[in-house]
Chain A
Amino acid sequence: MEIKKLLFVTKFEELCFDALKSLLTLRNADLEHVVFLNVIERDKIAMQRGSGYLKDEEIRLKETANIRFIDWAENLFEMGLEVGAHIDVGTLVPRIIKTIEEEQPDLIVIGRSHKGPLEQLYSRSDVAELIRRAAVPVLVFKHMAEDDIVPEKPFQRPLLATNWSEPSSRATELMKKLHNVIEELNIIHVTSSKDLKGSSSHDVQIVRKKERKKLDALCEEFESAGIRARPHVYIGDPIKEIQKAAREYQSSMIVLGSSEKTAMLERWTGSITKTIADRSSFPCLLVPPEGKTTE
Chain B
Amino acid sequence: MTQKVLVVDDDPDVRSFVVTVLEENSYSPLQARDGVEGLEIIESMRPDLVILDVLMPRGSGIRLYRKLKTTDSLKDIPVVLLTGIAFKSFLRSQQTLAEFQGEQVPEPDAYLEKPVEPEELAETIKKKLA
A residues engaging B (CB < 8 A)?
35, 66-67, 69-70, 73-75, 77-80, 82-86, 99, 102-103
**Which residues of B lie under 8 Å from residue A79 when comparing CB positions?**
96
Q: Which of B58, B90, B92, B96 contacts A84 (CB 8 A)?
A: B58
The answer to whether B55 touches A102, judged by C-beta atoms less than 8 angstroms apart, is no
Minimum distance in angstroms from B15 CB to a CB of chain A: 15
**Which residues of chain B are near A78, meaning CB under 8 Å?**
89, 92-93, 96
Contact B55 A73 (CB under 8 A): yes
Chain B positions within 8 Å of A35 at CB level: 57
Q: How far is the CB of A75 from chain B (nearest CB, A)?
A: 8
User: Could you list some 24 contacts between A and B, CB below 8 A?
Assistant: A66-B84, A70-B55, A70-B85, A73-B85, A74-B85, A74-B89, A75-B89, A77-B54, A77-B93, A78-B96, A80-B96, A80-B100, A82-B59, A82-B60, A82-B63, A83-B60, A83-B62, A84-B55, A84-B56, A84-B57, A86-B57, A99-B57, A102-B57, A102-B58
Is B72 engaged at the interface, CB distance under 8 Å to the other chain?
no
**A58 shortest CB reach to chain B, Å:** 12
Q: With an 8 A cutoff between CB atoms, is B86 at the interface?
A: yes
Bound: A116/B68 CA distance, A:
49
Q: Give the CA-CA distance A159 to B102 in the complex, in Å.
A: 37
Contacts of A69 in B (CB 8 A): 55
Number of interface residues of B (CB under 8 A): 21
Chain B hits for A102, CB < 8 A: 57-58
**Which 9 A/B pairs are nearest by Cβ-Cβ distance?**
A80-B96, A77-B93, A74-B89, A78-B92, A70-B84, A84-B57, A80-B97, A73-B55, A86-B57
A79 to chain B minimum Cβ distance, whole angstroms, is 6
The residue in chain B whose Cβ has the minimal distance to the Cβ of A80 is B96
Measuring CB to CB, which residues of chain B are less than 8 angstroms from any residue of chain A?
A: 34, 54-60, 62-63, 84-86, 89-90, 92-93, 96-97, 99-100
How many pairs, one residue from A and one from B, have CB atoms within 8 Å of each other in the complex?
54
Residues in B whose Cβ lies below 8 Å from that of A77: 54, 62, 85, 89-90, 92-93
Task: Give the residue of B34, B62, B85, B90 whose beta carbon is less than 8 angstroms from that of A82.
Answer: B62
Cross-interface CB contact of A80 among B55, B59, B84, B93, cutoff 8 Å = B93
Closest Cβ neighbor of B56 among chain A residues: A84
- Chain A residues with CB under 8 Å of B57's CB are 35, 84-86, 99, 102-103
B13 nearest in chain A by CB position: A59
Q: A73 vs B89: C-alpha distance in the bound complex, in angstroms?
A: 9
Query: Which of B55, B56, B89, B96 has the most C-beta atoms of chain A within 10 angstroms of its own C-beta?
Result: B55
CB distance from A12 to the nearest CB of B (A): 16
Determine how close the nearest CB of chain B comes to the CB of A20; give it in whole angstroms.
15
Kindly state the separation between the CA atoms of A66 and B83 in the bound complex, as whole angstroms.
12
